[in-house]
Amino acid sequence: MAQKKQKTQKKPVEKVKPRKKKTAPKKPAEKPAENVVFIGRKPVMNYVVACLTFFNSNETEVTVKARGRAISRAVDTIELLRRAFVKDLGIKNIKIDTEEMTREDGQKSNVSTIEIAVGK
């Protein structure tokens, strides 16, 4: 004889809400420096292209930052950008400063810095 299988009723599945992770209170976020180009040891044209990329993405102002021996490269970048690529580019602000650095041997030395803000 064949036995009849009894149908079992399915219990309704309770939806479990995901637990929220406890996080530390958020600190006020600073405005990210999105349109800043840091000058280093690469050729000047690399930094000019970086600035042009910002301007092509609808930025109206770009800041170029450099320190030490790279300051002359920063000035070259801005001048090449102004004279050859973006004719209506103006200098908005120039900020110079000195940072105190600690060398590997423990001595402290002063390093000059410059920030040049340019815009259309």
> Number of structural domains, the chain?
1
What confidence score (pLDDT) does residue 53 get?
A: 93
The CATH number of the domain where 102 resides is what?
Answer: 3.30.110.20
- Answer yes or no: is 83 within a domain: yes
Q: In 16-48, which positions are buried (b, 16+ CB within 10 angstroms) versus exposed (e)?
A: eeeeeeeeeeeeeeeeeeebebebeeeebeebb
- Answer yes or no: is 96 within a domain: yes
pLDDT tens by residue, 18-57: 666 666 555 555 555 589 999 999 999 999 999 999 999 9
Mean pLDDT for the stretch of residues 80-108: 93
- Answer yes or no: is 99 within a domain: yes
Mean pLDDT for the stretch of residues 67-81: 95
What confidence score (pLDDT) does residue 77 get?
A: 96
- Answer yes or no: is 103 within a domain: yes
Range of the domain at 83: 36-119
- Answer yes or no: is 87 within a domain: yes
